[in-house]
Structure 1
Amino acid sequence: MSALPRLAHRTAIVAQLGLIALLLSWLTWLAPPNPALVAPLVLLGVGPLAAGVRGILYGRHYTCAWTSLVSMGYFIHGVAYVTTPGITGWLAGLEIVLSLALFTGCVTYVRLSRAQ
């Protein structure tokens, strides 16, 4: 694998793991919701990302393709919360950056590694 697909793959890995860590810390420690909602929100928020971790780590094209689509849901969530005052706005801004990095890394990796 040449340098550019490898960089895109590493970007996707770092962005996905960073997004998982951000959502877990957001929902459990930094700005937790009502205690009764923590478990369902963690399951709904982190579940789709966690389902694709193994495929992203191994560089499977199909997993990268659907993960890029899933990342747009996190982008929309971040855009909806970015104007919220306090730490939630900053966390949403970081979610936007990580979801765009995940999308870009996945799409670039699939395009460039299939061309070879």
Structure 2
Amino acid sequence: MKIQESAENYLESILIIKGKKGSVRSIDIANELNFTKPSVSVAMKHFREEGYITMSADGLIELTDKGLEIAERIYERHQVIARALMVLGVDEATAYVDSCKIEHDISDITFSKIKEHLAKHEGK
């Protein structure tokens, strides 16, 4: 299942915000991603229609199983690639910025090999 990079970023952000705050509203996403509230509202409408999120009457956003699967996959890629870059000597801030760019385009097989190599390096 391939979706747009911006959609992956939205879903990953919902997952991260939920982990930090316990609940997610559109304004939280707008603040996290530095987007306007109207832009986020349009995206959330689209995500509801596509079955990636649900939204309660009081505006709380929840990932569906479909949305959660994508968010967790992207978040894992973000974390693993950042750790791999840091092992190579890249500073933490740069590693996280670069991993955000790489996570969307890297093939599953390449990611799998990076993850496998990192596990060996970290002794896991």
Task: Please say whether Structure 1 and Structure 2 have the same fold, judged by a TM-score greater than 0.5.
Answer: no
**So what's the TM-score if we normalise by structure 1?**
0.28
**So what's the TM-score if we normalise by structure 2?**
0.27
Q: Give the structure with the larger strand fraction.
A: 2
Q: Greater relative contact order: 1 or 2 (C-alpha under 8 angstroms, separation 6 or more)?
A: 1
Q: Give the structure with the larger helix fraction.
A: 1
